[in-house]
Amino acid sequence: MATVPVPIAAPQAPVVTFDEPSSGGVFSFLTDNAISSIINDTYQNLSERRKLMGLSNPGSVERISSEVQRDVLLTNHMFSGLRCDLQKFFSISPMFRLQHGFAMGSNVLPPWQLLAMYGNSRMLLQGTFSSDQSVSAMGNLRWTPKWVTRTQTQIDPRSPQTMLQVENEYTGDDFSASVKVLNPSIMEGGFTAIVIGDYMQAITPRLALGLEGVWQRASLGAKPETAMSYAARYKTPDWIAAAQIHASGQLGATYWRRLSEKVEAGVDCQLQFAPGMGGAGMFGGIRKEGQTTVGVKYNFATSVYRAQIDSAGKVGCVLEKRVAPAITFSFAAEIDQWKNTHKLGLGVSLEGSPEELEAQMQRPELQNETPPPY
């Protein structure tokens, strides 16, 4: 019987593998170490726990009381004299409009003002020129959906110094942080400016805590000054309470409440405590000053009515009435009971836009578009 030879496999050469170098570059040691891994893991665990708590963005410290001070009260709506605003929209997406403003008998508004605005979902540009030869410009840029840079400058012949402001704001899922620099300069051989930084963090779905720090140096010959303030905000579906205390001894508290679907009310209380300024001389007790303002806002179908009264004896109201789709009348009045003074304001706003732009405003894709970074 013949023997069949069994083939023997040839020995294979050993395979040698080489580890690829890390793609982190020269500075990879900053992230590829045990300490950075622990920090990264801790941050990820905290982020997951914060998501499970259902926290939302609480807003910034600067706008902690915006529902009362900017919406209900008359701070940004009161005017005196006669005013007329003529504005025209040339485009909706991107937005582009021009506005002419005329005023008479006002101590704040110039007799004539020209405003141009251009904006899209990523940027916002605005320029203003007034009859008193003052020029102001504003430019906002949205780098990412959460990071916005805002710049603002103003040149006024009546002021010896030009105003420049640069702000960077980051809006997180449950916090907001910003850094603002006013009038930075290195012309004196050093850095002089006003630097403001604030941070607001949601602690619970309703409670948020924040702090704000200020660093100021007017000139190289002056020592830097610092100050710190603390803020708290509590929000429910029907009411919002906020408070902020400053290092100078000032305490501010606001309370906003929705009374009905069309009625809102707000209370603003500002207290100032100045040590060493009491009635018994320079070293007397603490001087206490304060003012409380109560306001209400009514939203009607074609008009908005605001009224307020404060502890200093001032009573004011502002009525904005839209009499036509492109025409809005405004009436403002204020009476100071203690000083026996008063002021009245009457304004009209006319808006113009081509018919094709009015049709574009009703398109669903434009209504869902991201607004410019205001």
Tell me the C-alpha distance between 148 and 212, whole Å: 19
Sign of the CA dihedral running 361, 365, 368, 373: negative
Give 310-333 pLDDT, tens digit per residue: 999 899 999 999 999 889 999 999
Is residue 102 within 8 Å of residue 111, measured between CB atoms? yes
Q: What single-letter DSSP state applies at residue 229?
A: E
Residue 37 pLDDT class (50, 70, 90 cuts):
confident
- In our burial notation (b when 16+ CB lie closer than 10 A, e otherwise), range 41-61 reads eeeeeeeeebeeeebeebbbb
Give 262-271 pLDDT, tens digit per residue: 999 999 999 9
Tell me the C-alpha distance between 315 and 309, whole Å: 5
H or E stretch covering 364: helix 364-367
Give 178-206 pLDDT, tens digit per residue: 999 999 998 888 899 999 999 999 999 99
Is residue 256 within 8 Å of residue 67, measured between CB atoms? yes
Q: Are strands 147-155 and 287-299 parallel, antiparallel or unpaired?
A: unpaired
- Using DSSP, state whether 38 is helix, strand or coil: helix
Long-range contacts from 149-154, C-beta under 8 angstroms, 24+ separation: 150/373
- Percent of the chain having pLDDT more than 90? 61
Tell me the C-alpha distance between 221 and 11, whole Å: 84
Is residue 184 within 8 Å of residue 167, measured between CB atoms? no
